[in-house]
Structure 1
């Protein structure tokens, strides 16, 4: 029986015909009615449940970390600001803009006629204007541009979180094994198939642990999710294999994850493998593989899809390309970090042993361009007693991409957000 029809015979935006995924994204409020999106959401639900079950069964406590924060976990500065100072009454007048008068533009042909004396006078005037502009700049760090964050809701600049890691570490040092699972935000002007401005992160933290313990936990978790999907989402996985937007052999690829231990090698060893591929096998990469670069997706996928044909764990990255909180290795050049790379995606998990030496952590902050005073509370975790600990972060949407075989991360979240798009 037909229970409801379009009002007034209105045109239905998603009729019974093949629409592109891009077209469906423009109808995000209706695309849940399609088989593809419904299947993706069922898998997403299953993976969220599997995540909580895995960590609960392993004795972890679920910690709710804040969405609003004044800290930048990654130190990249790609944060969304949060402020109540949007009305004209709250804006601090920018005196330099109000008083600065640009020199009158010369009429056509006037430049050639300008005397040296006039040029000097104009240059002197511009120089004086610049000095005045500098003198009128606020000196307090909380005042940025024309906004005085000292008058804001929190009394200083606040942002949407880019990671819950620093916060969840506070509980790992007291309660041992903990994790957080929630939304995170990155103001990255990226339009790739694997980046979003709003996404969900799973971030466990384990006490009395080193990098090997961290890698073992990450591998066990990923395999658990794959096994759960194969058992509980079999109909949807079969559907994804048969749809034009899916992946042929999806379930075989997932079973391969369960059947073999992940390949483990250092970043340095991976660079050698990539260089050999270029020099001996004639492989062409857009970016030349040299020691010290942050491996792009093409390098990551080549390693796990072409060389080893399975998930790959890379360890011991150059310290310059990793975050300040990662433990410095004895060589002084690398850190105890690990990324897990999987076919179709590239990096799906990034983790590390945390630096627990206070003075080393302070120095790493400075080297990374961060003011240690800005994260005084994080440093206190070392100051007042700590233990070796480690953790990792997994982008939940990338996990769903890996499980479903879909190609674009915008198709595995109900309402995707990216630069230029925040509809619905």
Structure 2
């Protein structure tokens, strides 16, 4: 007997006996299990014959419990799904105490989920975001591979500040309470692990530039760290950055590459992550409705993404860009 994922079963047209493993989202009326295994935002309904199922087993089917279910895939009798699983056997792989399990079937704030980070991908929002991130990562590598680029790994620990790209996190093996000092009273980094002052990278640009001068077209895609002490939604201490470097490319070619790249990866997720994008589209739309009309976005999420792929990027000079910013409403209201 083959083991399936929820995603494949929901697309399956052959009615047969199958086995599936996942986590219980909900269990209602002692009969209907909504099961999810992370392969899709959608759940599969598993219908339990509660009259012929051990009562102790039924009590252990709680939100968050890990289960292995064997049953017959049949046409669904209810609305919202084409198929469902008529359960013939259920095994509890891991119990979940309903009194302590934090991710119950209700809406949670992001603050609450930050405090339960190990379980937040059990929610629709975080699971959708993670599947999209995975698809985007694949699309990034796919684009560069198909366009003749070589992928390179640049150092995470470095002595370079990448032309002053940002404030850096220091990396040291010295005793922070009693570091060795020079005659001038400064920390003596010559006695540190690398024999010099080192930091977490702010950019792989310099290494990529050297490789481009022999390989032609290269790109980096890896973790980057910035130590700017700014608690805003525009600043991250750690993020992944994409940096292509190409020999013999002028500014127009650089803009062509950026536009083509953005359209390619967005098109990929539009075509391959429709359910997750639709969920996030609906979620953001409902959030927008709580805002004053003047603060609402003119376009929904998917509409914005399609706008990017279906239109040419506007190209302006640096001087024109400054003029646009100076004449913008936020600047006139002194919000810049």
| TM-score for both structures, normalised by structure 2 | 0.65
- For the 8 Å contact 1:164–1:203, the answer to whether it is kept is yes
Larger helix percent: 1
Q: How far off its partner does 1:16 sit?
A: 1.9
1:134-283 mapped onto 2 (5 Å cutoff): 137-138=184-185, 145=186, 147-243=187-283, 244=286, 249-277=300-328, 283=332
Q: 1:46 aligns with which of 135, 143, 158?
A: 135
1:6-405 mapped onto 2 (5 Å cutoff): 6=96, 10-75=99-164, 78-86=167-175, 91-92=179-180, 137-138=184-185, 145=186, 147-243=187-283, 244=286, 249-277=300-328, 283-287=332-336
Q: How far off its partner does 1:282 sit?
A: 9.9
Secondary structure of 1:179's partner?
strand
Change in CA separation of 1:178 and 1:93 when aligned onto 2, cut-off 3 Å: closer
Structure 2 equivalent of residue 5 of structure 1? 95
- For the 8 Å contact 1:74–1:162, the answer to whether it is kept is no
Q: How far off its partner does 1:276 sit?
A: 4.1
- For the 8 Å contact 1:223–1:258, the answer to whether it is kept is yes
Q: How far off its partner does 1:189 sit?
A: 1.1
Secondary structure of 2:210's partner?
helix
Larger strand percent: 2
Secondary structure of 2:316's partner?
strand
After superposing the two structures, state which structure 1 stretch, 257-266 or 46-55, moved more.
Answer: 257-266
Secondary structure of 1:178's partner?
strand
Structure 1 equivalent of residue 20 of structure 2? none
Secondary structure of 2:233's partner?
coil
Number of equivalenced pairs: 235
RMSD: 2.4
- Higher relative contact order at CA 8 Å, sep ≥6: structure 1 or structure 2? 1
Q: CA offsets, 1:274-304, max 9 Å, x none?
A: 44456xx9952323xxxxxxxxxxxxxxxxx
- For the 8 Å contact 2:166–2:226, the answer to whether it is kept is no
The unaligned stretches of length 5 or more in structure 2 are: 1-57, 62-91, 289-296
The unaligned stretches of length 5 or more in structure 1 are: 95-135, 139-144, 288-424
Q: How far off its partner does 1:195 sit?
A: 1.9
C-alpha distance in 2 between matches for 1:35 and 1:235: 11
C-alpha distance in 1 between matches for 2:243 and 2:274: 27
Q: How far off its partner does 1:270 sit?
A: 2.4
Q: How far off its partner does 1:24 sit?
A: 1.2
| TM-score for both structures, normalised by structure 1 | 0.52
